[in-house]
């Protein structure tokens, strides 16, 4: 069935902040909807507000009082005649209770149905579904192990090394590699406590640890009629503390192996259909050195790294996500309609020490850019922005596209050189080292890259000199009115 275009304007509340809130606001306005932004007690001048049509006060200053407060967000939505809520990523974006509460209130959740969120949000349940659907999974348990003794038993059966992994949550928390029985016994309770504190669920799985793995994910999109499409894959193997800092599309590891690419993308669609998915989402896989791949988890939301997929496909994923939630026709006649061209790279710009990679809050005293043609910078920066420990340290996403990977890398080097942020310590020096490093340039890196190659060790006194010249360049740029 082909749906007729829905020209009705909706009032859409963006229950998020930063660059993703700006991104969603632009998509809402493009579609003719009213973008309603939130401002909190400590973010009265947030950048995303300038892209919104209206603003509402989400009273409070902590995450618990604002962006994580289900009751308050729903009440604000009711008070302001909101038709739909877009959660962005993080915060309540994968919270089934939030989605269900909106549904009960007669407000559309711009994301997948509640059941899909529940099933894919639990690693044990999602692994069972994958196994049932014929989707390959990492050898190990698909149910929580009750204690360390049982974990040791499972580990002995599948062979070391193994991974203790939280049933709930993500973002690298609640995960610990174990090389032997002693590690399992020593780490089991600690990982359980970490998981309980982070996700209010201390249950753990035991899985075979894939050596030198690649983190490959497939972007999918589905509508209310069951039409499901993939937008090819992304490589996300440059990580620190299990969190991504550099992403690419397409994957240099898959390279020209179109049969493998089709196989992993079709597998992602198979899983999405099995859970009756009906929004934008990402199916994540872990790929071994032999290019065998296994289902890892599904993110039932838009990903931070979605821009690189947009760059190689020409599709606006946020627009499509909103259309899917409202029941509009996506105007995608078939999978063949979605094609890719060129290569895109995203570098996450984070307020953190480039050597220790730990968060480094601070005040932005100056901000200038001088980018090469075609650079995309999704960000929340402005002079006077105070980056606090309250939120994720990412302040922007730098995206460059080239017709081939070498060109994309070259453009990214130039873009990093043209990004000037004063007063704030960032990971830019680390990113510059990575973009010049041989293993990265060859495209054969694994998720062990930071640990094994240690690009942070190549950041020395040159970092201090670079910062000095950046400050001078920023001052000169402002003096000239650039």
The answer to whether residue 2 scores a pLDDT higher than 60 is no
Distance CA 379, CA 388 (A): 16
**Residue 6 falls inside a structural domain:** no
| Other Cβ atoms within 10 Å of 60 Cβ, number | 16
Asked whether the beta carbons of 29 and 53 are under 8 A apart, the reply is yes
pLDDT at residue 463, as a whole number: 55
User: 170, 193, 208: which is the final residue of a domain?
Assistant: 208
User: 154, 177, 208: which is the final residue of a domain?
Assistant: 208
**Residue 246 falls inside a structural domain:** yes
pLDDT at residue 144, as a whole number: 93
CATH code of the domain containing 338: 3.30.470.20
Q: Classify residue 372 by its DSSP letter.
A: P
- Residue 294 shares a structural domain with residue 338: yes
SS3 259: helix
More confident residue, 89 or 468: 89
- Residue 360 shares a structural domain with residue 390: yes
pLDDT (average), residues 253-260:
98
Residue 242 — pLDDT band, cuts 50, 70, 90?
confident
- Residue 288 shares a structural domain with residue 184: no
Model confidence pLDDT, tens digit, residues 88-112: 999 999 999 999 999 999 999 999 9
**Residue 270 falls inside a structural domain:** yes
Catalogue the active-site residues. 301
What is the CA angle 366-372-376, rounded to 5?
A: 75
pLDDT at residue 1, as a whole number: 41
**Cβ-proximal residues to 233 (8 Å cutoff; 6+ apart), any chain:** 216, 217, 218, 219, 249, 250, 251, 254, 261, 264, 265
As for how many domains the chain has, the answer is 3
The answer to whether residue 371 scores a pLDDT higher than 50 is yes
Distance CA 439, CA 434 (A): 9
pLDDT (average), residues 336-340:
98
- Residue 337 shares a structural domain with residue 382: yes
What are the backbone dihedrals phi and psi of residue 397, each rounded to the nearest 5 degrees, phi first? -130, 115
- Residue 160 shares a structural domain with residue 106: no
Query: How is residue 61 written in tokens?
Result: 């200053």
How far is CA 420 from each of CA 330, 362, 389, 417, 462, rounded to the nearest angstrom? 39, 15, 22, 8, 16
- Residue 149 shares a structural domain with residue 271: no
Taking the whole predicted model, whether its pTM rises above 0.75 is answered as: yes
How far is CA 391 from each of CA 12, 62, 66, 361, rounded to the nearest angstrom? 23, 10, 12, 10
How far is CA 357 from each of CA 170, 351, 382, 420, 431, rounded to the nearest angstrom? 19, 9, 23, 19, 11
Residue 44 — pLDDT band, cuts 50, 70, 90?
confident
CATH code of the domain containing 196: 3.30.1490.20
- Residue 253 shares a structural domain with residue 237: yes
How far is CA 180 from each of CA 13, 183, 184, 196, rounded to the nearest angstrom? 49, 5, 7, 24
- Residue 62 shares a structural domain with residue 174: no
- Residue 470 shares a structural domain with residue 325: yes
**Among 105, 48, 79, 72, which Cα is nearest to 380's?**
48
Distance CA 420, CA 427 (A): 12
Model confidence pLDDT, tens digit, residues 114-157: 999 999 999 889 999 999 999 999 999 988 999 999 999 999 99
**Residue 413 falls inside a structural domain:** yes
Model confidence pLDDT, tens digit, residues 193-223: 999 988 889 999 999 999 899 999 999 999 9
- Residue 409 shares a structural domain with residue 330: yes
- Residue 241 shares a structural domain with residue 303: yes
Comparing 25-34, 72-81, 321-330, 463-472, the range with the smallest average pLDDT is 463-472
CATH code of the domain containing 39: 3.40.50.20
Boundaries of domain holding 255 = 214-477
**Residue 130 falls inside a structural domain:** no
- Residue 147 shares a structural domain with residue 54: no
pLDDT at residue 472, as a whole number: 58
Distance CA 68, CA 95 (A): 10
What are the backbone dihedrals phi and psi of residue 281, each rounded to the nearest 5 degrees, phi first? -165, 175
User: 161, 187, 208: which is the final residue of a domain?
Assistant: 208
**Residue 122 falls inside a structural domain:** no
**Residue 235 falls inside a structural domain:** yes
**Residue 125 falls inside a structural domain:** no
pLDDT at residue 446, as a whole number: 97
**Cβ-proximal residues to 65 (8 Å cutoff; 6+ apart), any chain:** 40, 59, 72
């Amino acid at each position: 069935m082909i749906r007729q275009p829905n020209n009705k304007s909706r009032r859409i509340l963006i229950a998020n902040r930063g660059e993703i809130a700006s991104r969603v606001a632009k998509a809402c306005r493009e579609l003719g909807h009213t973008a309603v932004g939130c401002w909190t007690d400590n973010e009265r001048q947030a950048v995303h507000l300038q892209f919104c049509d209206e603003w509402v006060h989400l009273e409070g200053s902590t995450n618990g009082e604002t962006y994580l407060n289900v009751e308050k967000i729903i009440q604000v939505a009711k008070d302001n005649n909101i038709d739909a809520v877009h959660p962005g990523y993080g915060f309540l974006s994968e919270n089934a209770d939030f989605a269900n509460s909106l549904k009960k209130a007669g407000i559309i959740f711009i994301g997948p149905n509640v059941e899909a969120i529940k099933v894919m949000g639990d690693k044990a349940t999602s692994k069972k579904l994958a196994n049932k659907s014929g989707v390959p999974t990492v050898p190990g348990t698909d149910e929580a192990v009750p204690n360390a003794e049982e974990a040791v038993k499972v580990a002995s059966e599948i062979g070391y090394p193994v991974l203790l992994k939280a049933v709930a949550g993500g973002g690298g928390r609640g995960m610990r590699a174990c090389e032997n029985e002693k590690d399992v016994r020593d780490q089991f309770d600690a990982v359980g406590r970490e998981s309980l504190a982070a996700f209010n669920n201390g249950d753990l799985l035991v899985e075979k640890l894939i050596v030198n793995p690649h983190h490959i994910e497939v972007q999918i999109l589905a509508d209310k009629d069951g039409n499901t499409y993939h937008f090819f894959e992304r490589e996300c193997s440059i990580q620190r503390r299990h969190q991504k800092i550099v992403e690419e599309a397409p994957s240099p590891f898959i390279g020209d192996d179109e049969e493998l690419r089709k196989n992993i993308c079709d597998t992602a669609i198979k899983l999405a259909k099995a859970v009756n998915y009906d929004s934008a989402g990402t199916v994540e896989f872990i790929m071994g050195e032999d290019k065998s791949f296994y289902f890892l988890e599904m993110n039932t939301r838009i990903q931070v790294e979605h821009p690189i997929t947009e760059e190689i496909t020409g599709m606006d994923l946020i627009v499509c996500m909103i259309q899917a939630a409202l029941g509009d026709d996506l105007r995608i006649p078939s999978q063949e309609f979605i094609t890719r061209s060129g290569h895109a790279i995203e570098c996450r710009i984070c307020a953190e020490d480039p050597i220790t990679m730990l968060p480094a809050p601070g005040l932005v005293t100056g901000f200038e850019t001088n980018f090469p043609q075609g650079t995309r910078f999704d960000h929340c920066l402005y002079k006077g922005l105070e980056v606090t420990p309250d939120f994720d340290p990412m302040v922007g996403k730098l995206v460059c596209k080239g017709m081939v990977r070498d060109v994309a890398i070259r453009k990214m080097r130039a873009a990093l050189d043209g990004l000037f942020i004063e007063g704030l310590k960032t990971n830019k020096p680390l990113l510059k080292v990575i973009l010049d490093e041989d293993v990265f340039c060859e495209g054969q890196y694994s998720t062990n890259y930071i640990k094994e190659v240690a690009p942070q060790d190549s950041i020395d006194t040159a970092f201090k000199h670079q910062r000095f010249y950046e400050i001078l360049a920023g001052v000169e740029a402002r003096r000239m009115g650039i």
